[in-house]
Amino acid sequence: MSNDKIRIAVFVSGGGTNLQALIDKQKSGVINSGEICLVISNNPNAYALERAKKAGIKTEIVSRKEYADQREFENKLISLIKENGIELIVLAGFMCILSERFTSKYPKRIINVHPSLIPSFCGKGFYGLNVHRAALDYGVKVTGATVHFVNEIPDGGEIIMQKAVEVKDGDTPEVLQKRVMVNAEWIILPQAVEKVSRQMLDKD
């Protein structure tokens, strides 16, 4: 498809601070090769939906429990992606696992942000604050964030960008989470989205 900009959908579940970083970086021009056209939340109460509405971005709610099984849930996501001409999917705090049937439809077209330096503290069960709790329990002195392509292995796809963040004495999971967001996630997620969108445009 030849386009001015790559059409992006952002999948969210919660607060949406990473979505906000994407919106802000689109406004400031860091993201220039892609455009956020749709935000999908599995959680009807996600604050991320308010952020999208404030920015004038179309929103959809696709709640897993409204569908008989994973296949039906993903079929709804697939139909929204088609209807909206979406070319790149960004998982920004999306707390649902997507099946291989879904991920294999979009090779190198799904990006995820994870709050650790993969391959540490990742895979099944490692999401949100759990990741930072595990890093503190282990006693690592450096952690960070990773942006990667999504494939059938949870947190196992090709790495696009990483950024390290220092762990400090006395950190709680909440304090560490905030430092990783501010100093890593909110910076590298928009950069990676621009990088992949640019590469997609150049291939057209």
Output 124 or 203, the one with its CB closest to ligand GAR.
Answer: 124
∠ CA 169-170-172, nearest 5°, is 125
Beta bridge partners of 58: 38
Whether the CB-CB separation of 46 and 13 falls below 8 Å is answered with yes
Residue 106 or 127: the one with the smaller Cβ distance to ligand GAR is 127
Residue 103 structure tokens: 């991920």
Nearer to ligand GAR, 104 or 130 (CB): 130
Shortest Cβ 112–ligand GAR spacing (Å): 7
Q: Annotated catalytic, 114?
A: yes
C-beta of 43: minimal distance to ligand GAR in Å?
Answer: 10
| Interacting residues with ligand GAR (CB under 6 A) | 12, 14-18, 48, 92-93, 113-115, 127-128, 131, 181, 185
Rounded distance, CA 192 to CA 163, Å?
A: 12
Least distance from ligand GAR to the Cβ atom of residue 159, Å: 14
Backbone angles phi, psi at 116, to 5 degrees: -155, 175
Report the distance separating Cα 149 and Cα 127, nearest Å.
16
C-beta of 88 vs 113, nearer to ligand GAR: 113
Three-state secondary-structure class, residue 42:
coil
Per annotation, catalytic residue among 7, 25, 51, 114:
114
Smallest gap from residue 131 Cβ to ligand GAR (A): 6
Instruction: Name the helix (H) or strand (E) containing 39.
Output: strand 34-41
Q: Which residues are catalytic?
A: 114
